[in-house]
Amino acid sequence: MSEENNTSAPTSSTPVTTEVAKKTFSIRPAGTNTSPAPQNGPSNRSFGQRAQGSSSFPRGNNSNTKRGPGADRRGGRDGRRQKDDENSNLDSQVILVRRVTRVVKGGKRMRFSALVVSGDKAGKVGYGLKKGLDFQDAVAKATKQAQDNLIKITLNDEGSITFPIKQKFKACELMLKPAKTGTGLIAGGFLRPVLELAGIQNIYSKIITSRNKVAGVQASFEALKHFESNKK
C-alpha cells in the first residue's frame, strides 16, 4: 500500500488520549458559616424577617409611643359624652314633613324632607332641614342638624328681646317687637314654636308677607341672630 493509506485514521487498537478540565473544590469543616461577612449598609433580609428581640417595632402598651398625628389629643369619648348630655336637655318640635320627588334617569326617586326646631327654652335654639328615605330617617337627620347648629340669644329681664326688628328673607317678611311682663307670646304659625323653644316669654310678632314654613323659619332665625350673646 502507498504512504497515503498509512496516514489514515487510527484503528481501534491505537489508544486515544482526552484532556478533562480539573475543578478544585474546597471542603470546610462541619458547623462553619458559609455566608459572606456582614457589610455596612441595609440588611438584605425581608421586611417580615426580623431578629428576635429587635426594638424596631415596639410591642405592648408604651405610653411614650405616638400612634399618629392625633395621639396628643385628649377627651375623644369624653367630649362626645358631654355633648350628648347637653343635647339631652333640648326639646324638639317638627314643623314640616313633606314628600319630595326627584326625576332621575331610571325614573322618579321619592324622599321625605323634614324641618325641625330644637331648643332648651333658655336662650339656645336651632333648626335643621334634611331629607331621608322615610319619615323617621328625615326627622332624625333634621334633629341632629338642629342640635349641632344652636345659637345663643340674650334676653332682657322681662323675658323678651331687647329691641324691635323687621326681617326679610327670600319671600318671607316678619316683625318682632319686645313686650312687658304679662303680655305673653303673641305669635302664631311656624313662628310660635321657634320663639317658645328660644325661651322668649313676652313678645309681639307678625308675619307680614309669605307664610311659607321653610322660608319663615329661616327668616325668624336671621332675626334672632341680631340678639346673639357672642356676636362680635
pLDDT tens for 113-132 read 999 999 999 999 999 999 99
Q: Which residue has the cell 323675658?
A: 159
Residue 2 located in a structural domain: no
Tell me the pLDDT tens digit for each residue of 35-55.
555 555 555 554 445 545 544
pLDDT value, residue 229: 82
Stated length of the chain? 232
Q: If you average pLDDT over every residue of the chain, what do you get?
A: 79
Residues 6 or more apart from 66 whose CB is under 8 A from it?
Answer: 72
Nearest to 121 by CA among 14, 218, 217, 193: 193
* Domain contains 182: yes
What percentage of the chain has pLDDT greater than the value 90?
59
135 within 8 A of 112, measured Cβ to Cβ:
yes
pLDDT over 80 at 2, yes or no: no
Q: How many domains does the chain have?
A: 1
CATH code, domain with 141: 3.30.230.10
Is 144 within the bounds of a domain? yes
Mean pLDDT of 82-90: 72
H helix intervals, 53-107: 76-88
Residue 202 lies in a domain: yes
Tell me if 5 is assigned to some domain: no
pLDDT > 60? residue 92:
yes
Whether pLDDT at 210 is above 60: yes
What pTM was estimated for this model as a whole? Answer: 0.64
pLDDT at 88: 75
Residue 13 lies in a domain: no
Residue 51, in any domain of the structure? no
Find out whether 194 and 128 touch, Cβ atoms under 8 Å.
no
Within a domain: 120? yes
Residues spanned by the domain of 137: 88-227
What is the predicted pLDDT for the residue at 89? 87
pLDDT of residue 35: 55
Residue 161 pLDDT > 90, yes or no? yes
**Banded model confidence at residue 34, pLDDT cuts 50, 70, 90:** low
Contact 193, 165 (CB under 8 A): no
